[in-house]
Amino acid sequence: MKRLTILLGIILVSIAVMVFIYQPIAAHKFSGEVLQQPMKVPSVMLRSDAGPVRLEDHRGKLILLYFGYTSCPDICPTSLANIKMALGGLTPEEAAQVQVIFVSVDPARDTPEALGKYVKLFQDNFIGATGTREEIDLMTSAFGAKYKLNEPDANGNYSVDHTSFTILIDRNGYYIFNFPHGTPSTEMSKDLRYLIQNEMPISAQILAGPTYTPVVCALTLVPAHVQGGEWLYQHHCAQCHGADMAGNPAWQTELQDGSHLPPPLDQTGSAWQYSEQDLVNIIKSGRNLDKPIHMPAFSPKLANWEINFIVTYMQSKWEINQLNYQHGFITLTPQATSTPLSTPTPATPPP
């Protein structure tokens, strides 16, 4: 009887510890709109008064990204002021882990120097950047942002309609959710503090789910299969997807026929979201299962075991949570659904 009592006590203590560990993750509800499928941010170089600006240069920090223009009479300054107040709700140590980048969609009027002066009206460490029309369009398209340059008046002045949400990019370079215009700064502070303290595991897309699932299985990859798969990959796949599996930098840009350039196959891509059998079928048939893709069929060239070796090599580049998800040990449980933001917010005409 005494042994049973001790065993029951151990079980109760273990349950209490698990609840204590996982409760903070399950309890937090984000004020922003959570993306069902986090997106790896595009690699685009913009320019600021301090030099080139790349999102990947700020890896390790949270990034708050906003598209607008300096002549905006109300929406942009309101949003930047709100972001400033949100950072003010953090400790100095926490705020230092967040980088704000304001990207102008009006490069004709907003030079890097003008942008530098503008953002420093709000906070000294804010970055103001812009680029060519092509670079701006690539950025806005990748993030689902919209803008429209309106016709100038008799004096050459014009307004710009633009979406007004604030994009949040995590430490690993994933766009995970956005704050709609008007989100209270106190709510933004809570979300930022949560992300700073908890390091949400974006690789498994465990965003705000009420049923957090820890890693339950560490899959073993046969070294000989990985080595053989690497040789096969370098001889059959590397010319398109890159020797390092990084894919084409513009892979997220949709081509005219709806297809895409070769995507990354390492942990930064989305190949792990397919089942292992689906990946084998894609490689064999040369087509994506749900959208057009320019890829040759490898079934005449490679045996089934060779294709399986290539998939094993790909898996060797993924994080353990990604492997667990692909093999069914982790499920996606996001709490919120991102609402498509396709309609620009009309700018208030200047007086």
Report the relative pairing of strands 160-162 and 147-149 from DSSP bridges: antiparallel
Cβ contact 216:324 at 8 Å: yes
Question: CB-based contacts of 314: which residues, under 8 Å, 6+ apart?
Answer: 229, 233, 245, 265, 266, 271, 279
Q: Tell me, what's the pLDDT at 253?
A: 79
Question: CB-based contacts of 51: which residues, under 8 Å, 6+ apart?
Answer: none
Give the C-alpha separation, 48 to 50, whole Å.
Answer: 5
Res. 335 pLDDT band, cuts 50 70 90? very low
* Per-residue model confidence as pLDDT tens digits over 158-205: 999 999 999 999 888 888 889 999 899 999 999 999 888 876 544 334
3-state secondary structure of 169: strand
Segment 304-322 shows an average pLDDT of 85
* Per-residue model confidence as pLDDT tens digits over 230-286: 999 999 898 889 999 998 888 877 777 777 788 899 888 888 878 888 888 888 887
DSSP annotation string for 250-286: TTTS--TTS--PPPP-STTSSGGGS-HHHHHHHHHHT
Q: Tell me, what's the pLDDT at 34?
A: 79
Annotated domain spans of the chain: 33-203, 223-326
Would the pTM of this model clear 0.85, i.e. be above it? no
The yes-or-no answer to whether 33-203 and 223-326 have a common fold is no
What percentage of the chain exceeds 90 in pLDDT?
34
Topology given in CATH for the domain delimited by 223-326: Cytochrome Bc1 Complex; Chain D, domain 2 (1.10.760)
Tokens 């709100």 correspond to: 82
Cβ contact 292:298 at 8 Å: no
192-196, 226-230, 286-290 — which is least confidently predicted?
286-290
Cα angle for residues 63, 192, 319 (degrees, 5° grid): 70
What is the maximal distance between C-alpha atoms in the chain? Answer: 93
Res. 206 pLDDT band, cuts 50 70 90? very low
Burial group, residue 313, by CB count within 10 angstroms (0-12, 13-18, 19+): buried
* Per-residue model confidence as pLDDT tens digits over 20-67: 444 444 456 788 787 766 777 878 889 999 999 989 889 889 999 999
Topology given in CATH for the domain delimited by 33-203: Glutaredoxin (3.40.30)
Cα angle for residues 287, 290, 291 (degrees, 5° grid): 65
Res. 339 pLDDT band, cuts 50 70 90? very low
Among candidate residues 217, 204, 192, 243, the one with its CA nearest the CA of residue 332: 204
Q: Tell me, what's the pLDDT at 111?
A: 94
Give the C-alpha separation, 326 to 317, whole Å.
Answer: 13
Retrieve residue 46's tokens: 């913009």
- List residues bridging with 34 in a β-sheet: 177
Give the C-alpha separation, 132 to 164, whole Å.
Answer: 21
DSSP annotation string for 144-162: T--EEEPPP-TTS---EEE
Q: Which run of H or E residues covers position 1?
A: none
Tokens 């009592």 correspond to: 5
Q: Tell me, what's the pLDDT at 2?
A: 53
